Every structure is written in structure tokens, then in C-alpha cells.
Amino acid sequence: MTRISVLLTTTLLATTTIAQSNREPPSTGLHSLFLSAGKLYFGTATETNNFADPTYQNILSNPLEFGQLTPENSQKWGLIQPQPGDFSFNASDQVASLANSYNHLLRCHTLTWHSQLPPFVSSTSWTPDTLRQLITTHITSVISHFGSACYAWDVVNEALNENGTFRNSVFFNVLGEEYIAHSFEVAREVAPPETKLYYNDFNLETAPEKQTAAVELVKSLQSKGVKIDGVGLQAHFTVGQTPSVESLIATLQRFADLGVDVAWTELDVAQEDVETASELAVEQQASDYVVAVRACLEVERCVGVTVWQFTDRYSWVPGTFPGKGGACLWTEDYQRKPAYWAVKRFLEGWVARMNVTRAFVGGNETTVRTVASPRGPLTEVTSGSERLEGSLVKVAFISFGVWLVLNMM
């Protein structure tokens, strides 16, 4: 073969690869690209009422798309301990066992939370001692039941108001802010040592006083010697009102600087009015999703992204905020939306740039990061510059080939 036909063949191969990436089944997906980017997972919330839907399960089980599940409801107090001492693990066990069979990580959600409580918790007249004991029993029973199945636990959920004060709840009203440290201490004592213990909340991205209060909360726990491993930022956004990428990076980094992991734990981007959402709003949604995903990639301590359901068919948004909706990456009938493709294209570009950049920066490929995971290291560490020089040569060949073809047309 002549030199030119070698280049043309290279170009054709490259073109074929790009064309194939838009056809089913794809060779990469959101989760596989997250792993390539050095993150731990791209995941989704799910629940047992989605389990009999085969189309849903096909996507959920696809290891390219998802590597982590969060039970949307079944581990919440009202469902898991509806009566004093009466623990009901059936539904949450099914989610845990599905995660295990798909080899997805399980983020467990949630232990001490003011909402979706059973009547006996909200209506009993507790003393500080009896309420502390109730929290101890609940957390001990639930964490021990799941053991090492949980990669992480959202130990305390939504303890703060938008103005940065502590939210009134049965827990705060009886125990004051001490209930938070108590919950983490009990959790730490009973959880396997590798389980990550998180504080989780919403609007930390958009409400400055709430964000500052959460930072102070983490510092206060740390100063008392209470171990906290992560802060989960829910990231429920609205199209066109998603903060800028600079702002989201600064938010994640502010928590990361406290020495904890961070994650988007419930990401979705809702259309304000789903009936009238224009094509422009669909494009805006795509760019909002990319901004959120990019912020996680830019912050080293951001371990992963969980979407709060991947299809509009099962999204919580329309039921909770009438009129809003269309918040997920897949439509109700399981078509991938522009937001899905935008995130995927962004990740592909990121991963490709990441490898090439390394070659220029270090000269040697010594900067590949490994991520510790309960299932073993997720990215290989390689040394020496040979492989990277190889990819650089390839990139140069492809670019030159494209240039050549364009000039011959």
C-alpha cells in the first residue's frame, strides 16, 4: 500500500467508528465513559415498581450505561420500619439484590430524615433519651441488615433550611443539632469500615446560606471527631436555571476542600412547563446536563453522578411539581433525548482529550489515576510513554488523513 492509501484507510476506519457510535448497541455508555474518566460510577435511582418493565430493565442492567443504583423509596423510614420494631426489608432487599445481580454499586438512602416518617415517629412525645435510642435502634438495624451491600449511606438527609438554619423536625425539636452527630456516630459504629457515610441535601448548589451552613455542619462534625466521608448534593435543577459550570465546580470544590467525597446524588433537569417546552428548551436541557456532569469531572473528589430515574416514565417530578416534567435523559417511551447524546458526546471528548493532554503534560504516562472501589481498582495504572506516543501518532495520522480527504474533494 502507498503512504496515501494507508492514511485513507486510517481515515475510513476512524469515520466508521464515529458512525457506529450512533447505532445500537453502542460500545460505550455513560457509566463506561465515567470509568474511563477516572470516576467510580454513573448511576440512577430505581424502585421495585419498575421491575416488571422489560424495556426499563434492559437499559438499567446495561453495564455501559449504569454502574450504580439508589433505591428511590424503599429504604426510607416509613417503608422500612412502619411500626415500632417492625422492619420490612422486602422491597429494599429486591433493589439490593438487583444491584448485586447487575454488578452495580448500591448507594443506600436514607436513615435520619424528617420526611416520609411513619406516624409513630412523628406523633410520639419523645424525651431526648428515648428519641436518641429510637435513632440508635433504627440505624443499627437497617445498616446491619444490608451490611457490605451498601457502597454508601445517606445517613442524614435534608437537615437544613434554605436560609441556613436547622430544619424543624421531630429530631431537631427534641435533640437539637446533636441528632446529626448521633446518627453519624451510630452509623460509623455499625457499618463496615469501607462504607461511605454521607450528608445529603438539595439546593446546596443554589442557596448560598444553605451551602455555607452545610459546610459549617461538616466542619462541626469533624471538630467533634465525628467521621463523615461525603456530602451528597442532590442537583435537582430546572432548565435554564442550572448554575454555571464555574459555580458548580466551586460548590463541589468547597466541600471537597473539607476532605470529603462529593457526588451529584439525585440529578435531573426539569422543564418548567413540560407542555410548552420548545426545541430551544430541549437544547438548553442538554447543555444544563453537560454542565452538571462536567463539574463532577472537573473536581477530583467527585466520585460519581446519580440521576433520579433515567426515564420520564418514572420521574418523581410531575407528581411533586404539577406542570414541571421531562426531567430525565430518556423519554417516557425510552428514546434517548438530546441531553443524553450531549452528555455522551461530551464524555467521549473529555476522555479522548484527557489521554492526549497527559502525553503533553508529563511527557511520560505516569498520571493515570486509580479509584479504589469495593469491586477492585477501576482504572489500570500504566507506566512508560510508549502507549501514549502510539495514540498521539494515531491522532496525528487521523487528522492528516481527514485533511487530505478534504483537500482532495
Ligand X SMILES: *[C@@H]1O[C@H](CO)[C@@H](O)[C@H](O)[C@H]1NC(C)=O
Distance CA(402)–CA(15), nearest Å, equals 9
Q: Which is nearer to ligand X, 114 or 196 (CB)?
A: 114
Specify whether the CB–CB gap between 351 and 37 falls below 8 A.
Answer: yes
Q: Say how many CA atoms lie within 13 Å of 40 toward its Cβ.
A: 26
Shortest distance in whole angstroms from residue 2 CB to ligand X: 28
Shortest distance in whole angstroms from residue 5 CB to ligand X: 25
Stretch in the footprint of ligand X (CB under 6 A) among 4-12, 110-118, 145-153, 160-168: 160-168
By CB under 6 A, the residues from 294 to 353 that bind ligand X are 351-352
Q: Which is nearer to ligand X, 10 or 331 (CB)?
A: 10
Q: Say how many CA atoms lie within 13 Å of 295 toward its Cβ.
A: 27
With cell 480527504, the residue in question is: 405
Q: Per the structure block, which three cell numbers stand in for 96?
A: 439490593
Catalytic annotation present for 348: no
| Amino acid letter for position 312 | D
By CB under 6 A, the residues from 63 to 92 that bind ligand X are 90
Task: Pick one of 11, 31, 34, 36: the residue that binds ligand X (CB under 6 A).
Answer: 36
Distance CA(32)–CA(263), nearest Å, equals 17
Catalytic annotation present for 162: no
Q: Which is nearer to ligand X, 161 or 373 (CB)?
A: 161
With cell 467508528, the residue in question is: 17
Instruction: With CB under 6 A as the rule, give the number of residues binding ligand X.
Output: 15
Distance of CA 365 to the CA centre of its chain: 28
Distance CA(233)–CA(231), nearest Å, equals 6
Q: Which is nearer to ligand X, 215 or 392 (CB)?
A: 392
192 prior amide bond cis, ω within 30 = no
**Closest Cα to residue 91, out of 74, 106, 107?**
74
94 binds ligand X (CB under 6 A): yes
Shortest distance in whole angstroms from residue 363 CB to ligand X: 4
By CB under 6 A, the residues from 355 to 394 that bind ligand X are 355, 362-364, 368, 379, 391
Shortest distance in whole angstroms from residue 4 CB to ligand X: 25
Q: Which is nearer to ligand X, 16 or 90 (CB)?
A: 90
**Closest Cα to residue 300, out of 242, 364, 255?**
255
By CB under 6 A, the residues from 164 to 193 that bind ligand X are 165
Catalytic residue among 65, 185, 205, 266: 266
Distance CA(137)–CA(126), nearest Å, equals 14
Shortest distance in whole angstroms from residue 121 CB to ligand X: 21
Catalytic residue among 47, 65, 72, 158: 158
Torsion of CA 243, 249, 252, 254, to 10 degrees: -110
Shortest distance in whole angstroms from residue 38 CB to ligand X: 7
Q: Which is nearer to ligand X, 10 or 161 (CB)?
A: 161
Q: Per the structure block, which three cell numbers stand in for 310?
A: 433515567
Task: Pick one of 49, 100, 163, 220: the residue that binds ligand X (CB under 6 A).
Answer: 163
For the annotated catalytic residues, the residue numbers are 158, 266
Residues forming contacts to ligand X in the complex (CB under 6 A) are 36, 90, 94, 161, 163, 165, 351-352, 355, 362-364, 368, 379, 391
